[in-house]
Structure 1
Amino acid sequence: MLGRLRGLGLLLAVSCLALGLPAALPAQARASGEPPAAAPPRMTATAGGLALTVPPSGHAPGYVLDVTTAQLGLTTRRSGTSVLATAAGDTGALRFRLGGEWQHATEVTGWTWRGGTLTLTADTTAEGVTVQARITPSADRYALEWNVQGAAPDRLGLAYDLKSAGHWYGHGEAETPQGGPGTDQPWPLDSGEVVHPAFGPASYDMIDPFWYTSSATGLRVDTGHVMDVSVNAGKDGLGRFDIRSAEPYKATVFVESTPLEVYRDYVGIVGKPAKSDATYEQYATPVWNSWAQFYTHVDQARLLDYARDLHDNGLGGHTLQLDDKWESDYGNMTFDAKAYPDPKAMSDKIHELGFGFGLWVTLWINLDSDQYRYAADHGYLLKDAADPAKPCTVTWWNGTAGIVDLANPDARAWYVGRLDKLMGTYGIDGLKFDTRFFDDTCAPHDGYRPTDYQRLGAELADRYDLQGVGIRVHWDTTAHRAGFVTRQVDKGTGWNSLRASVTQNLALSTIGYPFVTTDMIGGSSSEPPPSKQVLVRWAQSAALQPLMYSSTSPVDTIDVTTGKKVVYDRETIDLYRQAVARHERLAPYIWDQVRQTLKTGDPIMRPLFFDYPQDEAAYTITDEWMLGPAVLAAPQLTDEATRTVRLPPGVWYDVGHGTVIHGPRTLPGYATPLGVTPVFVNLGAKGAAKALRAFRDPDIPPAPSKTTTK
C-alpha cells in the first residue's frame, strides 16, 4: 500500500510538471524550512495568441508575457496588471529599416516552445521578408533576440507604448529639443522629449542602453553599435530603441517588484564599482578648476591670483586644476612659455597655498602641433574608417585633431611616457582627462571594437589621480567597475541648467555610475557668469551630493561674453563657504555611503522612489533626492522665496526648524530665503545619528582673519 502511494505521488509530481503546475514537496523538505522549488515557465494558448507564464520565485514576483499573434506584440503583466507593452499599429513592436523605409513584424505564422525558449516566426510589411524572435524567460527577466530573414536592413529596433509602463527613467545624459543635456534633462524622461541620435559607446554624452520604469520593468539593449533613441519625441507617447546594424537584436527585459530591484538586476550584469577612485578628502572638500573662471583666457599670473583669492577667503579645497588652455599647441604637452614663464614655480606656489595641482589633458593632437606628424609617422593615431591608409581626423572645439590609438601598445606607451615626464617635471599631482577616446569616423585597431576604447580609456585613466573631477567613460563594464567619479556634460549658467544638473545626476547614478558630481558649480558653456542667486543655490545643492566640483569663484570672476570682471558681494562668499563647510561635515556620512555602494552597487544620490516605492508622489519629483538612506535633500532650485517639499513615510527631522514631522506629508510654502536649504533626516534610517551630528554643527565657519575682495 505504501509503495503504491509513493508511486502515485511520483506520478502526480510528473503530471504537475508536464502541465506547468507546482508539485507538492515531501513533508521532510517542508519541515526543513527550505523554500519550495520554483515551478517552470509554461506556455498556453489564449484567444488573442499565446501566454508565457513565469511563476513567482524567491524575491521575483513572477509575470505573464502575452504574445499577440494577429500582429506580433508583447505585453508583460504582473499580478494581472500590464506593466510593459510594445507599440502597436503602424509603428510595430519589432521594426527594421529597409531601403530607407521602416517596416515591422505583422502576423505570427509559427511558434515553438522547446528547451525553455519560445521561438516565433512572423510575416512583415515588407514582401518576402520575415522576422524570427526568440524569448527565453527566467525568474525576474526574459531575454529577447530577433533578426530579419530574407533582406539586409540597416537598422533594427524595438518600440514601446510608454504609458503601458508608467514613467520612464535611465538613459543617462539626454539630448532633447529643449537644449538637453546642457540645459534640459526631463525627469521622468516621458515628461519631456528625448531625441538622441548617435547614441553609442563613442558618444561624449554619458549614456548606457538601459531604461527602467515606475512599473518596475526595465530594458537593457545588449549592443556595441550606435543607436538612435527617442522617448516621447514630438509627444508621440512612444519609446523607440533602434540599432544601426542588421545583426540580431539582443535585449533583456526585467520584471521586478520595485525600480530599485530592476536597477540591482542591471548592475548584476554590468558590475558594481570595485573601488572608489576618489579619496575621502576628495569627497570631503571641493576641487577648484579654472575652466568656468577663465575658459582659455588663463595664464600663470591669473591662475595664482585665483588660488590666492580662494585661500584668503577661506574657500579651501583639496586641489586646484589648470584646465584648457596651457599648451603651446594642443597635443604638445609643453607649457606655452609666454603665458607660463615658470610652471614649476607656479606649481610650488599652489602647493604652498594648500592645494594639490592638477592639469587638463587630452588624447587629441591638433594638426598644427609639432607632435602630430611624429605620431602619424609612427602609426600612433587611429586610422580613418573610410581610408585606413591615413589617420582619422576629428573636428572639436579647439581645432582639428588626430586621436592617439590606445589599442596600439607602442602608441599607448609613448603617450603615457610623455604624461609621466610632464607630471614629474612640474610637480603635477593629478589629471583631468577630457574629450573622447574614440570617434565613430575612425577605424578601431585590428582585433578591437569601438566599445573596447571605453575599456582602454578607463584603464589609462585608472593609472592617475583624477582628483575628484572624474572622467566620462561609459557603456563598457570596465567603466562601471572602475569606480570613477562621473562628471556631467557642461551646463549653462542659468536656473534651467541648475535643475538639469540635479535630474541628470539622478539619471546617471541610476544607470550604474554612483559617484556623481554636477558640472562646475555655477555652470559654464561660455555664457555670462551665474547670478549671485544661481551660484549660491548651486553650491547649496552640490553640498548635498557626493562631491563638490567648483570653478566660478564667489569672490570675483570674468564675464567671458564681455571680458569684464564681475565682483560678488560678501554674502555670496559667506554662503558659498557655508555650503562647503556643510558638505565637509557630512563627509563621514557620505564616506559610509561610498563603502556601502562598494558592497551593494546601490547609488548614493537617488530618487525618492528607490527608497519609498509605494509613495506615488515620489515618481515625478524633480527637485528632491535621497543622499543615502537617511538624508533627504530639497534645496531651492528656482528664484523663488518658497517651495513645496514632499516627505515620504517615516519620521523626519527638519534640520532648518529643529522639528520632527511624521510622513507621508507635503509641506507647501516652505520658506527658502537665500541662506536656507531645506534638508531632512529620517530618524529611523541607518546613518541618521551621524547625519544629525553633521547638521547640528554651526553652518557658517568664522571668516578668515585675512580676506581679499576686489
Structure 2
Amino acid sequence: MVRFLSRKSVSLLAAALAATLLPPTAHGKTEPTTIARVSEAPGTVTLDSAGYSVSVRTDGQLALTTRRSGRTVLATGPDALRFRSGGTWQHATRLTDWRWRNGVLTLTADTTLPGAQVEARLTPAPDRYQLDWDVTGTEADELGLTYDLSSAGHWYGHGETGTPAGGPYTDQPWPLDAGQVDQEDFSAASYQMVDPFWFTASSAGLYVDTGDTMDVSLNAGGDGLGRFTVESGTTYKATVFVESTPRAVYRDYIGIVGKPRQSDATYEQYAKPLWNSWAQFYTKVDQDKILDYATDLHDNGLEGHTVQLDDKWESNYGNMTFDPKAYPDPRAMSDRIHDLGYDFGLWVTLWINLDSTNYRYAADHDYLLRDAADPTKPCTVTWWNGTAGIVDLANPEAKAWYQSTLRKLMDTYRVDGLKFDTRFFDDNCAGRDGHTRTDYQRLGSELADSYDLQGAGIRVHWGRSAHESGFVIRQIDKGTGWNSLKASVTQNLALSTIGYPFVETDMIGGSLGQPAPTKEVLVRWAQSASYMPLMYASTSPVDTIDPTTGQKVDYDEETVALYREAIARHERLAPYIWDQVRHTLRTGDPIVRPLFFDFPRDRASYTVADQWMLGPAVLAAPNLTSAPSRDIHLPPGTWYDVNHGRTIKGPTTLTSYPTPLAVTPAFVNLRAEGADRALRALR
C-alpha cells in the first residue's frame, strides 16, 4: 500500500539529499551547489531549482504550479494528467507517494480508473524541467496535459491554426488565446505547418517531444484551457521552459530543434518577387495565358526573378509531361519567359494519380508508399486533384527514378527550379523499414534541397531536418478578403516564432479560389509583403480572372503604380533584409517577430497583432483594413517616422494615423543595429 512519507522520513531524505548535492573537494570536504532541492509543506511538495520552483498539490487532485521569482508562470488545469483507456477518458487524482532520487522527483497518483496509477517524473535543469509520465495498471492509447491558459498570460507558437472561424485560411488568432484553436490532426504528416511548441507572455514554454499525432486545443469552445494530447500510450515527454523573456524561451527551443544552417533562397530571391500562376489562373491556364501574363508584368515594370507555372500543366498528375493541347511548344514558352528576364519554374508533386501512365509503373516497381492497413498494396490518398499514390522516398530506387524523371523534364524544357507541393507522407500510409513521419519530413527536405525552390519554399516541419534546412516557408492558401490579409500577418508571426525564420505571406491577394481581391486588398497586401523577408506574388495588378465568375477583372493605373512602389521599397530594403538572414544563420533568431521579442517589458506589445519588427530596426505597421486611418503602438525608444520625416519618443500610441492608399506606416528604431541601412532604404 502506497502512503505519504512521514515528517521524519522527509528530514532524513533531506539530509541524504544535502549530502548528494554537496560534492567532495580534493580534501574530502564539501561545498554548496545550487542544483535543486525538494521540500514538503502542508498540502504541497515543492521542487526548488535555480530561478524557479514547481509545487505539486498533495491534498486534492494532482496539480502542478510553476513559479519564477515567486510569481506563477504556468499552472495545470482540471484533469491535469489525463489518459484514455477502453474508450473512456480518465485522469490522475490524489498524489499518493513521491520520492527524490538522483536528481529526479518521481510522483505517484491514483486515477479515476480503479487499479490504474500515473507515475510522473520531474527532472530539473537550468531554466527548464523535463516532465515525463506514464500510466500503469491499464492499457492507455492517448495521454494528455491540461493547462489553465490564464495562469501564463497570453499564448503563442503552434504554427498554422485550425479554428472554427476559418483558420488557417482566413483566421489565425494572435495571441492564440484570443481565438479558439482545435486541431485533431496536429502532426508531422499534417499539411499545415505546425510544431509541438508553445510559449507564453509569462516567459514559460512547452515542448512536447513526440513523433505521434496530437490533438491540440487552446480555448476551444471558450473553455480557457490548453489541452495537449498525444495519440499514443507510450511515455509522454514534455519540456517546460521557465525563462526571463519570451525570446529566451524561443532560443531554448531552437537549442533543441536546431537553427538554419543555410538559406535556400538567394539574395535576388529576397530582393525581388516570385510570380506564380496559381491565383491568376488556377487550373485554367495554358501556354498563351502564361506568356501574356509574363509579358504584361514585364511591360508594366513589375519586376521579379521568376515566373512559375503552377498546377495543371501535366497531361495527368504524375506523368511529368506537358499536356500537348494546352502547351503545344513548352520549350518555346520557356525560352520566351527567359527572354523577358525571368527564370522559369514548375509546380511538382510526389503524388501520382491512379489514371496517370506513371502510376502503374511505380506501383509495379514498389516505388509507392504502402497502405498502413494492408502493406501488400500501395497506399492511396484523396486530394484536391483526385486519388493518388505517393512516391516512397525511403526506397532509394524510387527516389532515383523520381529524380531522373524530374531531371529529364528540367533539361528538356529549360526549367530553372521547382515548387514542391502536397506532402511527403500521409497517415493512411506505412513507413518503409520503420521510417517514421519525421523521417519522411527529413527525406523530403533532402530531396527538395537539391533543387532551386525559387523562393516558393516548401512546407516541411516538426523535426531537426526541417529547422536546419533553412527553407523559405510559404503559408497555406489564404482567402482574398481583409480577414485573410490579417491572418497572413499573424501566421507569419506564428511561423517565425516556432523556428522558421524565412517566411513569406501566401500569394499577394490570396489564392483560395474566392472572388478576385479588390484593388484595396491587393495594394495593402503588397504593401504588407514589402516588409516581409520575401514577396510571393500571383494576382497581377494589371488584370486578373475572377475564379468564381470566369470574368476578367481590370485594375487601374494607380493599382499598378502602388504595387510597383511596394516592389521597389522591398528591393531597397534587400541589403538590410540580407543582413538579417545572415544574423539568423548565426543565432536562429526570427526576422519577422512580435514587438515583445525586442521589447519584453512593454506590456502593450503582447496583444499587438497588426504590427511587427522586421529585424531590430524596422517596425512595420501597414493598414490591414479598409479604414482611412489606424492606431499605431510604438514601444520604448526613439523612432523615425519614414512617412512624415519626424522623430517620435516611445512608448506611445499614435491614434488615427492617416493611411491613404499610398501610405504604408513604418518606423525605424534609431538606436538599433542596422538603423542606418534601414533609413537609407526607407527615407
Shorter-chain TM-score: what band? over 0.9
Letter in structure 1 aligned against 2:44: G
Q: CA deviation at 1:20?
A: 9.4
Q: 8 Å contact 1:20–1:41 — kept in the other structure? A: no
Letter in structure 2 aligned against 1:81: R
Q: Which string of whole-angstrom CA distances, capped at 9 and with x for unpartnered residues, describes residues 611-641 of structure 1?
A: 0000000000000000000000000000000
Calculate percent identity across the aligned residue pairs. 70
State the alpha-carbon separation in 1 of the partners of residues 121 and 325 from structure 2. Answer: 65
- Candidates 93, 98, 101, aligned match of 1:106: 93
Query: Counterpart of 2:57?
Result: 68
State the alpha-carbon separation in 2 of the partners of residues 459 and 401 from structure 1. Answer: 22
- Candidates 31, 35, 40, aligned match of 2:35: 40
State the alpha-carbon separation in 1 of the partners of residues 554 and 85 from structure 2. Answer: 59
Letter in structure 1 aligned against 2:64: L
Query: Counterpart of 1:531?
Result: 518
State the alpha-carbon separation in 2 of the partners of residues 547 and 402 from structure 1. Answer: 33
Q: Which string of whole-angstrom CA distances, capped at 9 and with x for unpartnered residues, describes residues 207-264 of structure 1?
A: 0000000000000000000000000000000000001100110000000000000000
5 Å matches for 1:105-124? 105-124=92-111
Letter in structure 1 aligned against 2:100: W
In the superposition, the TM-score normalised over structure 2's length comes to 0.96
Q: Which string of whole-angstrom CA distances, capped at 9 and with x for unpartnered residues, describes residues 329-352 of structure 1?
A: 000000000100000000000000
State the alpha-carbon separation in 2 of the partners of residues 607 and 100 from structure 1. Answer: 41
- 2:77 matches 1:82: no
Q: Report the 3-state secondary structure (helix = DSSP H, G, I; strand = E; otherwise coil) of the residue aligned with 2:433.
A: coil
In the superposition, relative to structure 1, how do residues 661 and 17 fare at CA in structure 2: closer, same or farther (>3 Å)?
Answer: farther
Q: CA deviation at 1:669?
A: 0.5
- 2:663 matches 1:676: yes
State the alpha-carbon separation in 2 of the partners of residues 423 and 21 from structure 1. Answer: 64
State the alpha-carbon separation in 2 of the partners of residues 380 and 151 from structure 1. Answer: 40
State the alpha-carbon separation in 2 of the partners of residues 607 and 283 from structure 1. Answer: 21
Q: 8 Å contact 1:202–1:439 — kept in the other structure? A: yes
Q: CA deviation at 1:607?
A: 0.2
Query: Counterpart of 1:653?
Result: 640
- Candidates 159, 173, 183, aligned match of 1:196: 183
Query: Counterpart of 2:44?
Result: 49
- How many residue pairs match? The answer is 665
Letter in structure 2 aligned against 1:338: K
Q: CA deviation at 1:447?
A: 2.5
Query: Counterpart of 2:192?
Result: 205
Q: CA deviation at 1:449?
A: 1.1
Structure 2: tracts of 5 or more residues without a match: 1-13
Query: Counterpart of 2:5?
Result: none
- Candidates 315, 320, 326, aligned match of 2:302: 315
State the alpha-carbon separation in 1 of the partners of residues 224 and 89 from structure 2. Answer: 18
Query: Counterpart of 1:496?
Result: 483
- 2:118 matches 1:128: no
State the alpha-carbon separation in 1 of the partners of residues 627 and 191 from structure 2. Answer: 34
State the alpha-carbon separation in 1 of the partners of residues 159 and 88 from structure 2. Answer: 29
Q: CA deviation at 1:579?
A: 0.2
Query: Counterpart of 2:597?
Result: 610
Q: Report the 3-state secondary structure (helix = DSSP H, G, I; strand = E; otherwise coil) of the residue aligned with 2:596.
A: helix
Q: 8 Å contact 2:203–2:249 — kept in the other structure? A: yes
Letter in structure 2 aligned against 1:185: Q
Q: CA deviation at 1:167?
A: 0.3
Q: 8 Å contact 1:16–1:22 — kept in the other structure? A: no
In the superposition, the TM-score normalised over structure 1's length comes to 0.92
5 Å matches for 1:151-166? 151-166=138-153
Query: Counterpart of 2:18?
Result: 18
Structure 1: tracts of 5 or more residues without a match: 1-13, 27-35, 56-61, 697-710
In the superposition, relative to structure 1, how do residues 682 and 38 fare at CA in structure 2: closer, same or farther (>3 Å)?
Answer: farther
- 2:175 matches 1:180: no
Query: Counterpart of 1:10?
Result: none
Q: CA deviation at 1:16?
A: 12
Letter in structure 1 aligned against 2:329: D
State the alpha-carbon separation in 1 of the partners of residues 475 and 15 from structure 2. Answer: 57
State the alpha-carbon separation in 1 of the partners of residues 33 and 589 from structure 2. Answer: 27
- 2:84 matches 1:97: yes
State the alpha-carbon separation in 1 of the partners of residues 417 and 235 from structure 2. Answer: 43
Q: 8 Å contact 1:488–1:519 — kept in the other structure? A: yes
Q: CA deviation at 1:21?
A: 9.1
State the alpha-carbon separation in 1 of the partners of residues 667 and 331 from structure 2. Answer: 46
Q: Which string of whole-angstrom CA distances, capped at 9 and with x for unpartnered residues, describes residues 430-449 of structure 1?
A: 00000000000001101211
Q: Report the 3-state secondary structure (helix = DSSP H, G, I; strand = E; otherwise coil) of the residue aligned with 1:336.
A: coil
Q: Report the 3-state secondary structure (helix = DSSP H, G, I; strand = E; otherwise coil) of the residue aligned with 1:93.
A: strand
State the alpha-carbon separation in 1 of the partners of residues 539 and 389 from structure 2. Answer: 31
Q: CA deviation at 1:363?
A: 0.1
Residue range with higher mean Cα deviation, 14-23 or 263-272: 14-23
Query: Counterpart of 1:354?
Result: 341
Q: Which string of whole-angstrom CA distances, capped at 9 and with x for unpartnered residues, describes residues 490-545 of structure 1?
A: 00000000000000000000000000001000001111110000000000000001
Q: CA deviation at 1:100?
A: 2.0
In the superposition, relative to structure 1, how do residues 37 and 675 fare at CA in structure 2: closer, same or farther (>3 Å)?
Answer: farther
Q: Report the 3-state secondary structure (helix = DSSP H, G, I; strand = E; otherwise coil) of the residue aligned with 2:296.
A: helix
> Once superposed, which parts of structure 1, at least 4 consecutive aligned residues long, lie more than 6 Å away?
14-17, 19-23
RMSD: 1.6
State the alpha-carbon separation in 1 of the partners of residues 202 and 231 from structure 2. Answer: 29
Query: Counterpart of 1:386?
Result: 373
Query: Counterpart of 1:543?
Result: 530
5 Å matches for 1:410-559? 410-559=397-546
State the alpha-carbon separation in 2 of the partners of residues 155 and 496 from structure 1. Answer: 35
Q: 8 Å contact 2:21–2:32 — kept in the other structure? A: no
Q: Report the 3-state secondary structure (helix = DSSP H, G, I; strand = E; otherwise coil) of the residue aligned with 2:434.
A: coil
Letter in structure 2 aligned against 1:382: L
